[in-house]
Amino acid sequence: MNYWLMKSEPFKYSWEQLLKDKKTSWDGVRNFQAANNLRAMEKGDRAFFYHSNEGKEIVGIVEIVKTAYLDPSDETGKFVMVDVKPVEAVKNSVTLAQIKSQKSLQNMALLKQSRLSVSPVTKAEWAYICKLAA
DNA sequence: GCCAACGTTGGC
DNA sequence: GCCAACGTTGGC
């Protein structure tokens, strides 16, 4: 099982919206690196749902329910999307400031490549953040 | 195939 | 709203 972090601007697509929808297609990715991460996802993988811009915090956990397939909103036919469903909200949202202040989280892709909207999370990072969120 | 110009993302 | 970082595009 692999772990990921997926960013969304809350006013574009929020955690609350996902809870209402029960499931969503993660479309609109137009970055090759992010798309490669989407392709690497397997059914059952977990991902943190992160609110960028507004909030800047991890608010929930999602599960990949469908692996990468062509994003119909992409006219070039190069980019893919996956389907995700909410697993649970985190008890305490983990803010970017918190992540930055943790020594063991300094190497997170989230910090190193702040513009990458879909990034991998190591097992250790996942466990650490889950502890912060509990 | 290099690199300048440009566009976008996202933190502050 | 600004600006830094960085990915992408297009001319050469």
A119/A134 Cα distance (integer angstroms):
22
Does strand C come within 7 Å of the CB of A113? yes
Query: What is the model's pLDDT at position A76?
Result: 80
Q: In chain A, which residues from 16 to 45 place their CB closer than 7 Å to nucleic acid strand B? A: 30
Q: Provide the number of structural domains found in chain A.
A: 1
Query: What is the model's pLDDT at position A91?
Result: 96
Residue ranges for chain A with pLDDT beneath 50:
none
Which bases of chain B are under 7 A from a protein CB atom? 8-12
- pLDDT tens, residue by residue, A75-98: 788 899 999 999 999 999 999 999
Q: What is the CATH number of the domain that holds A73?
A: 3.10.590.10
Å from the A62 CA to the C1 C1': 33
Nearest to A63 by CA among A88, A80, A96: A88
Q: Which domain holds residue A62?
A: 3-133
Query: What is the model's pLDDT at position A77?
Result: 82
Query: What is the model's pLDDT at position A78?
Result: 84
